[in-house]
Structure 1
């Protein structure tokens, strides 16, 4: 009796719980901003997907998402402030000393995301974080 109860309990605990997940209701093209009409909620038990519409609306699709497909955490991100090959201001700030120069971005990136940039003066490639104004903060 005790073994049967433990088996029943372990079987019950192993069943994933269904919850609301965010799915695309229309084709969402890569690099486009997600509109409220393009997503909806559906019952499901998929791991690694968004479960709140408000956490997706206004973000940028990193790849194409087709109708009925769940919106994965890696499928969306902050809207890009910097485009590939764009000239950006590089800022280095340490102990009150601020150095600014120009660089060329090597990818697209949004606020707070890491970005590889080629320093136009030295031709070296560095990585920094995109700031809200589109400039890149380089740390040592």
Structure 2
């Protein structure tokens, strides 16, 4: 049964108007750049699709010449598990920063748990676009 599924996956996929295909084999976790993909048919809606795909991260491997399905994309991971990060607490004009270790991976806007390296206290915070974890008051 697995062999049949594998064979079906290896068959050529039909190209759709405005489809985005991989220029090379892209492993899972690749953040898509302009050189990694190309449009099959240059139509206006194809350009909009391309803009949505650029900067996204693949969840699965995509082989060269295959269409990239938007459902296989996620926002790029900014913080990896066990990565040393800056924990920031902000309130009005006050900003306190400490060094911590991320206990899970996260992309911009996600809430993850972080352990303060100095005190060993675990807190939750939102991943900022720069990779800093911003802790908010409860």
User: TM over 0.5, yes or no?
Assistant: yes
Q: CA deviation at 1:101?
A: 1.9
Q: Render the CA deviation track for 1:20-43: whole Å, top value 9, x for unaligned.
A: 444445422122221334334469
Higher deviation after alignment, 62-71 or 95-104:
62-71
Q: Which residue of 2 aligns with 1:12?
A: none
The TM-score, its normalising length taken from structure 2, stands at 0.61
Question: How big is the alpha-carbon RMSD for the aligned residues of Structure 1 and Structure 2?
Answer: 3.0
Q: Which has the larger radius of gyration?
A: 1
Q: Does 1:72 align with 2:70?
A: yes
Q: CA deviation at 1:129?
A: 1.9
The gaps in structure 1 that reach 5 residues or longer are 1-17, 44-50
Q: Does 1:35 align with 2:37?
A: no
Q: Which residue of 2 aligns with 1:93?
A: 90
The TM-score, its normalising length taken from structure 1, stands at 0.60
Aligned length: 115
Q: Which residue of 2 aligns with 1:11?
A: none
The gaps in structure 2 that reach 5 residues or longer are 1-15, 42-47
C-alpha distance in 2 between matches for 1:74 and 1:122: 36
C-alpha distance in 2 between matches for 1:129 and 1:113: 5
Q: Which residue of 1 aligns with 2:11?
A: none
Q: CA deviation at 1:104?
A: 0.5
